[in-house]
Structure 1
Amino acid sequence: MAKPPAKKAFALRLDPAVHAAVERLAADELRSANAQIEMLLREALKKRGIDVAISKQPKRGRPKKED
């Protein structure tokens, strides 16, 4: 079974005030700071006319038994 591509990990340097604002916003919207940054990036890209499709997430749990 082919695995979907993993998310790209990279270091992001942020001004501490920007990071604090992202964390507050994330807490208000019940998201992690990482998910909030991704959401903000998607919104900014869409505003500029670039629509990025959401990648298919891997299924969770134990795979079904094959007959």
Structure 2
Amino acid sequence: MTKKKNFPLRIDPKLYEVLQVWAKDEFRSVNSHVEFLLKEAAKKAGRFPKDGENNK
């Protein structure tokens, strides 16, 4: 298993509340939901390999 990078994140409290509810609705922790959202955005922008593609 790959070790994940830790870093502090400052976020608007109102946005955090939205993420908390959204994560709960998706049965995820806030941390894993933020990672999921960022990964999906990176894939959509062509910055991250889509599932099944080799890392460049």
Q: Which has the higher contact order (CA 8 A, sep 6+)?
A: 1
Structure 2: give runs of 5+ residues left out of the alignment. Answer: 52-56
Q: Is the 8 Å Cα contact of residues 43 and 49 (structure 2) preserved in structure 1?
A: yes
Structure 1: give runs of 5+ residues left out of the alignment. Answer: 55-67
Q: Is the 8 Å Cα contact of residues 26 and 33 (structure 1) preserved in structure 2?
A: yes
For residues 23 and 5 of structure 1, the distance between their equivalents in structure 2, rounded to whole angstroms, comes to 25
Larger helix proportion of the pair: 2
For residues 23 and 41 of structure 1, the distance between their equivalents in structure 2, rounded to whole angstroms, comes to 15
Sequence identity of aligned pairs in percent?
Answer: 41
Matched, 1:51 2:48: yes
Q: What residue number does 2:36 align with?
A: 39
What's the TM-score, normalizing by structure 2?
A: 0.79
What's the TM-score, normalizing by structure 1?
A: 0.67
Larger Rg: 1
The one-letter code sitting in structure 1 at the alignment partner of 2:24 is A
